[in-house]
């Protein structure tokens, strides 16, 4: 189920050539998780980040790493556009249903990460992601490296997750519109996968998701395999 590999390649191409800092994963340097959705009031806010945040799943090798492109949290002094991408390696399995279930479990993880002083606002129906960072967190030394370490730690609590690369982008010169397009495509593929695996509407002529099946390699084959029908 490497349906997202083309989007991973597209993401890597977007950040190629941009100035970046890379950090190895250090579990001991993860930012504190408070265990609940902490509310940060406007008066306590240092700045807000707004853009897209999404996961790209693969069975290809991924090294545990945090990549920061642009200014880190301690050097941001006003509201900023940003992008957060997690490229996640899952163990390979021949059982398509098992792989699908793993993808869903991994996706749910991001809704259960609550960094102290870093309020994440997102929904399961959108790839939009907004972050409110408190002034106290900035004073206490919050950084993308520490947030990335926490994200990797949380994802790797699932033994099926073999590697995680977390990419944060705040560089004003980055192509944020292109990141938004990748996020939209990622959402479309995920929706199509949900549609197929839940055996909903196998009439290709009337299905609004047919263009995704036609475009994404392997999706149409999975569709017909799951439905028990033969491909035309």
For the chain, the domains span 5-172
What average pLDDT score do residues 5-24 get? Answer: 95
Residue of 170, 141, 22 lying closest to 74 (CA atoms) = 141
d(CA 224, CA 5): 21
Q: Is the pLDDT of residue 75 over 90?
A: yes
List of residues 6+ apart from 11 with CB closer than 8 A: 56, 85, 87, 167, 179, 182
- Give me the sign of the Cα torsion angle 222, 96, 129, 67: negative
Complete DSSP assignment for 165-229: EEEEE--TTS-HHHHHHHHHHHHHHHHHHHHHHTT----TTT-TTHHHHHHSTTHHHHHHHHHTP
> Greater confidence, 191 or 224?
191
Q: Is the pLDDT of residue 50 over 90?
A: yes
Instruction: Quote the pLDDT of residue 219.
Output: 44
Top-level class of domain 5-172: alpha beta
Predicted TM-score (pTM) of the model is 0.85
Asked if residues 197 and 223 have their Cβ atoms less than 8 Å apart, the reply is: no
d(CA 89, CA 58): 5
d(CA 90, CA 79): 34
Cα 49 from chain centroid (whole Å): 16
117-164 per-position pLDDT tens digit = 999 998 766 789 999 999 999 999 999 999 999 999 999 999 999 999
Q: Which helix (H) or strand (E) holds 150?
A: helix 144-155
d(CA 129, CA 140): 23
Instruction: Quote the pLDDT of residue 206.
Output: 47
d(CA 46, CA 132): 8
d(CA 111, CA 123): 8
The mean pLDDT of the chain is 87
Q: Is the pLDDT of residue 178 over 90?
A: yes
> Greater confidence, 189 or 229?
189
Tokens 């982008």 -> residue: 169
pLDDT bin (cut points 50, 70, 90) of residue 197 is: low
What average pLDDT score do residues 186-212 get? Answer: 64
Most confident of 43-47, 198-202, 227-231: 43-47
Residue of 11, 12, 19, 135 lying closest to 73 (CA atoms) = 135
Asked if residues 51 and 129 have their Cβ atoms less than 8 Å apart, the reply is: yes
């Amino acid at each position: 189920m490497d349906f997202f590999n083309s989007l991973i390649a597209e993401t890597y191409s977007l950040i190629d050539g941009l100035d970046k800092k890379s950090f190895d994963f250090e579990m001991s340097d993860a930012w504190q998780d408070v265990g609940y959705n902490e509310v940060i009031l406007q008066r306590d806010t240092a700045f807000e980040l707004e853009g897209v945040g999404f996961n790209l799943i693969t069975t290809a090798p991924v090294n545990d790493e945090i990549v920061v492109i642009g200014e880190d949290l301690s050097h941001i002094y006003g509201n900023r556009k940003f992008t957060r991408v997690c490229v996640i390696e899952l163990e390979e399995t021949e059982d398509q249903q098992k792989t699908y279930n793993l993808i869903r479990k991994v996706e749910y993880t991001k809704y259960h990460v609550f960094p102290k002083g870093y309020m994440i606002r997102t929904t399961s129906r959108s790839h939009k992601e907004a972050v409110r960072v408190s002034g106290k967190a900035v004073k206490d030394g919050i950084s993308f490296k520490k947030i990335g370490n926490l994200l990797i730690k949380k994802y790797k609590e699932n033994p099926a997750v073999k590697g995680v690369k977390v990419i944060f982008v705040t560089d004003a010169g980055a192509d944020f519109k292109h990141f938004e397009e990748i996020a939209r495509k990622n959402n479309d593929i995920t929706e199509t996968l949900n549609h197929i695996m839940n055996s909903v509407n196998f009439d290709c002529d009337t299905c609004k998701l047919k263009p995704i099946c036609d475009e994404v390699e392997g999706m149409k084959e999975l569709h017909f395999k799951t439905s028990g029908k033969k491909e035309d």
